[in-house]
Amino acid sequence: MSAIPKTFVGFGFGAIQGGLFLYEAFRSGMFERLVVAEVVPDVVAAVRRAKGSYFVNIATRIGIEVRQVSGVEILNPTVPADERILSMALLDASEIATALPSVDFYLRGEPSVAGLITRALQAKAARRDLPHCVVYTAENNNHAAEILQKECEQFLEPAARAAVRRSSQFLNTVIGKMSGMVTDAKEIEADGLTCLVEGFSRALLVEEFNRILISRINLPEFQRGIDVFDEKPDLLPFEEAKLYGHNAVHALIGYLLQNRGHRFMSEAAGDRKLMAFAREAFLEESGAALIARHHGLDPLFAHEGFRTYADDLLARMTNPYLRDRTERITRDPRRKLAWDDRLVGTMRLALDAGIPPHRFALGAAIACEALASPMDTASQLAELWTHADEPVGRKAELIQHITEAQLKLRMEREKHEII
């Protein structure tokens, strides 16, 4: 097995793949071959016209930097000739990354992502001339790696499963990098962005942050080509910090801005009252609850470490060069109000620690308004929350906090003292 990785393969050519995995693989200089699978014909054709090159807009603290990635082979696995090339590339791959819309896409289509990866891993397990590999799973699911591994292993006999596990490993990821694909030509021009490919009305915009956490690799003597990632023995606490810290406060700021009629997240930076409110929510509700649950596990889960984490994120969230729109942050309120998601999930975490989640309740109250349902708040939330009421009475407690926040919101609007 070669000590130097020579092939990287990615599935899905969205913002995370193009602006993180493929970008970092290119930057590392460790890969002889960069391959990405994408099923949208227009995207495949555009990158091919550019001879395997594309541009990434990187939002720094002082402006936009444009970087070019080159030498990319883009393949459409629904095209038989491309599928054959992709299958051969997977045999040589030492690092594979899935960055699909959700874990539901692992088995979707023919050939499926899980099927393609399984065939490659089975061959690697049987042949000593093929490199061992890791599979990064970047879908927004705390157990994406376990889900993909299970879906791959269903195609294998027990003996083959054991052999595959000795030569490959599925890795979860915690991706705190804010990114997006801008598809509106007017927005691209107004924001001064460089198109993904010249003449193609898509632009890839990401922040420069790249401290990505991954599961600890236990393959003997395996060396990553993408060396900027940080391995952790247990990712779940960091995944909770991402969802109930980063994502929760991001949503809270978005809803507060929406309540004030603002269009961009960066507008929060000029509102001292709003930012103080968001920081208090981050430290006193989200942070205090996370520290109570994971104290001593990592420097992050201590007051000083979490304060540094929160202040860094608040500055990054309001970076004007990200051009992050509140309508993007606040869309799909049903998901954000779900039992385990950023607003209600964070409120539950706080209540578990004995902390009243007043600030996040205000964000949830504004999100409830966005549901635009004729039902009262209790009925709306009861429809969303199908989980068991654990502990008993918790649903009623959450509804009480949110309805109290709605009353406060109405009073502040009447006084024109909106947070």
pLDDT, one tens digit per residue, over 150-170 is: 999 999 999 999 999 999 999
CATH number for the region 7-233 comes to: 3.40.50.720
Residue 376 has pLDDT above 70, yes or no: yes
Asked whether the beta carbons of 148 and 168 are under 8 A apart, the reply is no
**Cβ partners under 8 Å of residue 274, min gap 6:** 253, 256, 257, 260, 268, 419
Q: Where are the domains of the chain?
A: 7-233, 237-415
Give 318-330 pLDDT, tens digit per residue.
Answer: 999 999 999 999 9
Alpha helical stretches, state H, 132-190: 144-153, 158-167, 185-190
Q: How far apart are CA 57 and CA 63, in angstroms?
A: 10
Asked whether the beta carbons of 358 and 405 are under 8 A apart, the reply is yes
What percent of the chain is modeled with pLDDT above 70?
98
Q: Which CATH class is domain 237-415?
A: mainly alpha
Is the whole-model pTM more than 0.75? yes
Given this model, what pLDDT does residue 78 score? 97
Q: How far apart are CA 68 and CA 3, in angstroms?
A: 27
Average pLDDT score, the chain: 95
Q: How far apart are CA 332 and CA 313, in angstroms?
A: 22
Residue 191 has pLDDT above 80, yes or no: yes
Please name which of 366, 314, 317 lies closest in space to residue 343, comparing C-alpha atoms.
Answer: 366
- Strand runs (DSSP E) across 319-383, as ranges? none
Residue 4 has pLDDT above 60, yes or no: no
Given this model, what pLDDT does residue 418 score? 63
Count H helices, E strands: the chain? 19, 12
Give 45-97 pLDDT, tens digit per residue.
Answer: 999 999 999 999 999 999 999 999 999 999 999 999 999 999 999 999 999 99
Residue 5 has pLDDT above 80, yes or no: no
Angle between helices 272-280 and 303-317 (to 10 degrees): 140
Give 297-325 pLDDT, tens digit per residue.
Answer: 999 999 999 999 999 999 999 999 999 99
Q: Taking the CA atoms of 94, 100, 103 and 105 in sequence, report the sign of the dihedral they define.
A: negative
Structure tokens at 247: 């994502």
Same topology for domains 7-233 and 237-415, yes or no? no
Spatial strand order of the sheet with 95-98 comes to 72-75, 33-37, 7-11, 95-98, 133-137, 168-174, 213-215, 230-232
Give 216-225 pLDDT, tens digit per residue.
Answer: 999 999 999 9
Angle between helices 342-352 and 394-415 (to 10 degrees): 110
Count the helix, strand and coil residues of the chain and give each as a percent rounded to the nearest 5: 50, 15, 35
Give 256-281 pLDDT, tens digit per residue.
Answer: 999 999 999 999 999 999 999 999 99
How far the first Cα of the chain sits from its last, in Å, is: 59
Average pLDDT estimate for 141-154: 95
* Residue 130 DSSP SS3: coil
